Amino acid sequence: MSNHRPDVPVAWEFFAGGGLAGMGLHGWRIGFANDLDPAKGRAFRENHPEVTFHLGDVGALTPADLPGRADLAWASSPCQDLSLAGARGGLAGRRSGAFWGFIDLMRALDAEGRGPDGIVVENVCGLLTSGGGADFAAVCAALSEGGRRVGALEIDAAHWLPQSRPRLFVVAVRGDAPPETTGPDGPFHSSRLIAAHDRLPEAVRANWAWWSLAAPPHRNLDLATLLEPDDSVNWFPSERAAAALALLSPLHRRRLEAERASGARRIAAGYRRVRIEDGIRTQRLELRFDGLAGCLRTPAGGSSRQMVVVVEGSQTRLRWLTPREAARLMGVPEDWRLPPSASAGLKLMGDAVAVPVVRALSEGLLKPGAGRRAAA
Ligand SMILES: C[S@@+](CC[C@H](N)C(=O)[O-])C[C@H]1O[C@@H](n2cnc3c(N)ncnc32)[C@H](O)[C@@H]1O
């Protein structure tokens, strides 16, 4: 406790997974973290032993479990739990989803006068339209309770990292407000965000702010720069590679042939998708040669694990993306200790928030006001 400085802002990390949000919160002290998943809890504790980590359901937490006070609560809540259908499925008046458990906790802290001034909720962009916009309205309304103003940004991790990973960040702040613009402006106020804002009920819009975050400089990394050396990974045997390539649609096969014809070494991310073709569900291998990996996902059912495809002359080699490569695609430093099993490592990274995106939000929006409050 002796190293706790009153001028350093404090953040609590909910739905913490492996703690990637906290990794992006440079200059903050993570005063508390919570997650339900024992495997993620092990990874969190191993990598962030200095943080008080609580394993269990956020809905079972009470203010008494939380130490002191925090300037910020970060919540990367699971997307399915934001649905109003889930939240209202329980007993009358009793919120049941994980997100609503988190909101109940923030309300209880506000009632005690020690709710965080800032709250960030990260979710998939589908939140903008799910329930015809009612879910987004409910989230914004809940976050703007307690005198907070709320705004959102749609940010693709591809601005910083070679991974296409668009995510929605709903940011609620009271007191010293982050920089804002009078209307939508800049790359993170996407057209679907603007449309979702326009659908909000008037009472919710009254508390809205267009938070202003500058785009970063051009990204210099691409997928190839993050890969392990070719001689240190396990390539698919030829029959398995052929079976995977047999899943290419005519379009993706033409794409592969065009890259092959260039004669240069080309690298693609490959992922399997089920497409409906002539009314039939068909599994396909899709390739992207634009220097980006597709969005990392959790490996449920195995089909979401990405492949690395290397084309060199007449040779095409395939292999799985490794957990360490997945960690690099999330902006995780090399000394971060991965879980022992590949599937746990890939699940953790597929669920996580990209570190440089959190850092950009922290530096551009969250830290300036929190720093002033912490120093006061
Ligand atoms: C989208 S992931 C967030 C991961 C995290 N931001 C990271 O960077 O690793 C959602 C997390 O919520 C956790 N979770 C789901 N339901 C929960 C609940 N009821 N209480 C606490 N944690 C929960 C899951 O175990 C998962 O790690």
Burial class (CB in 10 A: 0-12, 13-18, 19+), 222: middle
Tell which one of 25, 100, 351 to mutate to probe ligand 1, the residue whose CB is within 8 A of the most ligand atoms.
351
Residue located nearest, by CA, to atom 12 of ligand 1:
15
How far is 54 from 16, CA to CA, in rounded Å?
10
Domain boundaries 10-217+350-375, CATH class: alpha beta
Contact (CB, 8 A) for 197 and 208 = yes
If we measure between CA atoms, which residue out of 262, 270, 265, 267 comes closest to residue 312?
265
Q: Is the C-beta atom of 36 inside 6 A of ligand 1?
A: yes
What is 314-330 written as a DSSP string? TEEEEEEPPHHHHHHHT
Residue 116: which residues within 8 A CB-CB, separation 6 or more?
Answer: 12, 69, 70, 71, 72, 73, 106, 109
Tokens 């919120």 correspond to what residue? 95
Residue 81 CA, ligand 1 centroid: distance in Å? 11
Q: Given this model, what pLDDT does residue 372 score?
A: 58
Q: Given this model, what pLDDT does residue 81 score?
A: 58
Torsion, Cα of 326, 332, 336, 338 (10° steps): -20
Q: Is the C-beta atom of 204 inside 6 A of ligand 1?
A: no
β-pairing, 315-320 vs 53-55, is unpaired
Residue 16 CA, ligand 1 centroid: distance in Å? 6
Tell which one of 13, 35, 37, 53 to mutate to probe ligand 1, the residue whose CB is within 8 A of the most ligand atoms.
35
What is the edge-to-edge ordering of all strands in the sheet holding 53-55? Answer: 53-55, 29-35, 10-14, 72-75, 118-123, 166-173, 149-156
Q: Quick one: which H or E segment has residue 118?
A: strand 118-123
Q: Is the C-beta atom of 57 inside 6 A of ligand 1?
A: yes
How far is 201 from 26, CA to CA, in rounded Å?
35
Tokens 């597709």 correspond to what residue? 294
Residue located nearest, by CA, to atom 10 of ligand 1:
78
State how far Cα 184 lies from the chain centre: 22
Q: Given this model, what pLDDT does residue 88 score?
A: 40
- Residue-level pLDDT, tens digit, the chain, 376 residues: 344 666 899 999 999 999 999 999 999 999 999 999 999 999 999 999 999 999 999 999 999 999 999 999 999 988 665 555 444 443 333 344 789 899 999 999 999 999 999 999 999 998 999 888 998 999 999 999 999 999 999 999 999 999 999 999 999 999 888 889 999 998 999 999 999 999 999 999 999 999 999 999 999 999 999 999 999 999 999 999 999 999 999 999 999 999 999 989 999 999 998 899 889 999 999 999 999 999 998 866 455 789 999 999 889 999 999 999 999 999 999 999 999 999 999 999 999 999 999 999 999 999 877 755 555 5
Domain boundaries, the chain: 10-217+350-375, 229-321
Q: Given this model, what pLDDT does residue 82 score?
A: 55
Q: Given this model, what pLDDT does residue 296 score?
A: 94
Residue 309: which residues within 8 A CB-CB, separation 6 or more?
Answer: 256, 267, 268, 269, 270, 287, 316, 317, 318
